[in-house]
Amino acid sequence: MTRNTITSTSRRTESQRSTSCPQNSSSEKIPRPLPKKRVATVQALSGTGALRVGLEFIRTFLSEQTPVYLPDPTWANHKNIIRRAGLSGMKSYRYFNKKTNGVDIDGMLEDLRQASAGSVVLLHGCAHNPTGSDPSPEEWQKVLEVVKAQNLIPFFDNAYQGFASGSLEQDAYSVQLFVEAGVDMLISQSYAKNMGMYSGRVGALSVVCATPEPVEAVRSQLKGIIRAMYSNPPVHGAKVAAKIMTRPRGICGVGEGTCHHVRQNPAHEGAAEGDFGEAGYAGNLGPHYVADWYVQFHRHFGQAGRLHSGEL
């Protein structure tokens, strides 16, 4: 799926009509909807299911040797999903600088410049897991320039929209920047956190094409992958999500109270600079400190150092 890969795929597959997912009504604070004519969206089993379907699509229509670049560090389950999808070319790019407690943008860009054309680059849309540190708008622009220059395929994992800044619009900045640039890309969207339906397994996978021509063929192939994988996702949570997203204000305001509470909490002052929203990163702590916190203070957080605001 280089710039012309999706288009090439469409010529090999049969097109199939389908009703697209409902879009948010227009409002000043609601994120701009994806361009309907350029996007194929399918319901998925939350963000994890969307990632798996998207990677299966990549393996099927590109190659099982397609390189997939992950940030270092990243959500531990990313590696499991990639392996289970049958992709063997897993690589990493530098992301977090422990000395500055922020994004290592220079290292990130340098590593991505070494990626071969057609490589997939997994990007956290916002509230990077586990660090909580996101690139600035200017840094996202630099990432986009490298992605375009190297002919890479961005795959956004958007699990925490609304929980980084407290604004759905602001948290969608990175994704919308890439969409408006007109590149072929994939987006994994979870509604588990921002709609409070974690056990409902509600999510979506969107494949955004550079041009409208291959969209129906892509949608047809995604539906075929889902049919063989789990046939149909549950409908109840999806109907709730659709109802929310078609209201005048959608899910605007979600996370605002949480973010305000976290930033007012004195314990948040010690978080890494640049950490956002509902989680932070204490990456310089060793496993023995994590164990000490567990024994002495009954604070439970991962060995990697990710601390949820609920623990504060």
- pLDDT tens, residue by residue, 11-57: 444 333 333 333 333 343 455 677 779 999 999 999 999 999 999 99
Residue in the block written with tokens 């299911």? 49
Please give the residue that has the higher pLDDT: either 164 or 258. 164
pLDDT at 300 over 80: no
218 pLDDT band, cuts 50/70/90, is: very high
Per-chain mean pLDDT for the chain? 80
Contacts of 81 (CB under 8 A, 6+ apart): 48, 51, 52, 55
- Provide the annotated active-site residues: 75, 157, 193
268 pLDDT band, cuts 50/70/90, is: very low
Give dist(CA 74, CA 79) in Å, integer: 9
Q: Which two tokens stand for residue 151?
A: 């002919």
- Supply the pLDDT for residue 199: 80
Give dist(CA 120, CA 147) in Å, integer: 10
- Supply the pLDDT for residue 236: 87
Mean pLDDT of 147-154: 98
- Walk me through the domains of the chain, giving residue ranges and CATH numbers: 5-245 (3.40.640.10), 256-311 (no CATH)
In this structure, how many other beta carbons lie within 10 angstroms of the beta carbon of residue 232?
8
Instruction: Choose the weakest-confidence range: 167-171, 217-221, 267-271.
Output: 267-271
What does the DSSP assignment read for 101-145?
TEE-HHHHHHHHHTSPTT-EEEEESSS-TTT-B---HHHHHHHHH
Any bridge partners for residue 40, and if so which? Answer: 207
pLDDT at 132 over 60: yes
